[in-house]
Amino acid sequence: AKAPEKQEMKLCVLEATQLKQLRELIALRLVQEDAPISKRSRKRDSLSLQLVYNGQLLPSEDDEKPLSQMGVGDGSVFHCLASLASQLQQLSCFPQQCSVDGGRVVHILGERFPDNDRTVCRFGRVITGATVEDDGTEGGISQLRCIAPPHPAGPVTISVSFDGGATWLEGPSFWYFDPTTCSGGYGVRVVADCAGALPLRTDPFRLSWDRSGRD
């Protein structure tokens, strides 16, 4: 994957400026200055910004705090990772299961996927590459393709990232099964109180449609 492009930006703000206001200013400047990330959308609300200060990722819980309370002073430097926001959309996938060996093609659907080369999927904690096949511009439904990696049996959550793993959008559950312990048979258990009450047919039988219109 390509390394994200670096761009220097200088802002003059008051010490009373809140962290969320700083995020909004940065997003606005990215759009105004025609930054590469903003070329895919002219709406600043569609940008997701992760701010890092003094080596620490600033959580959204601190958005109401003024910068002065965070030790920010004249000449302070923030590092910002901008990506297209997609946290509000619902994801689905097909198929929804795979053997523990992996290797099955999985398609993930959503409302809008940015078409870039930093898209990855995560099955539980295992990350694998992904390709956006349809960004949803025309039909309104986006689709990406990935290969399910090997994983122990059981359910996992599929997540998608459009910024190389910096932020994740959680999706549906996906099941891994072990074919060596699974079979196509079905077990039937008869409750002891009902044993002998009803005759059981063990011979094969066939179902047919009654086209006469009768119930």
DSSP per residue, 165-184: TSS-EEEEEEEEE-TTT--S
Give yes or no for residue 93 having a pLDDT over 90. Answer: yes
Binned at pLDDT 50, 70 and 90, residue 170 comes out as confident
**Beta strand extents in the chain (DSSP E only):** 47-53, 56-57, 79-84, 92-94, 97-99, 105-110, 120-123, 126-134, 142-147, 154-161, 169-177
Asked if the model's pLDDT at residue 106 lies above 90, the reply is yes
Higher pLDDT, 194 or 70: 70
Question: What one-letter code names the amino acid at 148?
Answer: A
Q: What is the mean pLDDT of residues 88-117?
A: 88
Q: With a cut of 60, say whether residue 184 has pLDDT above it.
A: no
Write the CA distances from 59 to 20, 45, 64, 209, integer angstroms. 10, 18, 11, 62
Mean pLDDT of the chain: 75
- Identify the pLDDT of residue 66: 85
| C-alpha to C-alpha distance for 97 and 11, rounded to whole angstroms | 49
Of 94, 54, 44, residue with least CA distance to 76: 54
- For 127, the token pair is 């990350």
Q: Which of 72, 78, 66 is nearest to 17 (CA)?
A: 66
Query: Which one is predicted more confidently, 169 or 121?
Result: 121
How much is the pLDDT for 42? Answer: 44
Structure token pair of residue 70: 């965070």
pLDDT-derived band at 201 (thresholds 50, 70, 90) equals: very low
Range of weakest confidence among 52-56, 76-80, 100-104, 198-202: 198-202
At 36-70, the pLDDT tens digits run 554 445 444 456 677 788 777 777 677 788 888 88
Nearest in space to 158 (alpha carbons), one of 142, 143, 174, 144: 174
Residue 35: φ, ψ to 5°:
-65, 150
Residue 202 scores a pLDDT above 80: no
Lowest mean pLDDT among 88-92, 105-109, 185-189: 185-189
**Residues 121, 160 contacting (CB under 8 angstroms):** yes
Q: Evaluate whether 119 touches 107 at the Cβ level (below 8 Å).
A: no
Share of the chain above pLDDT 70, in %: 68
* Nearest residue to 76 via CA among 6, 32, 19, 37: 19
Answer whether residue 176 shows pLDDT above 90. Answer: yes
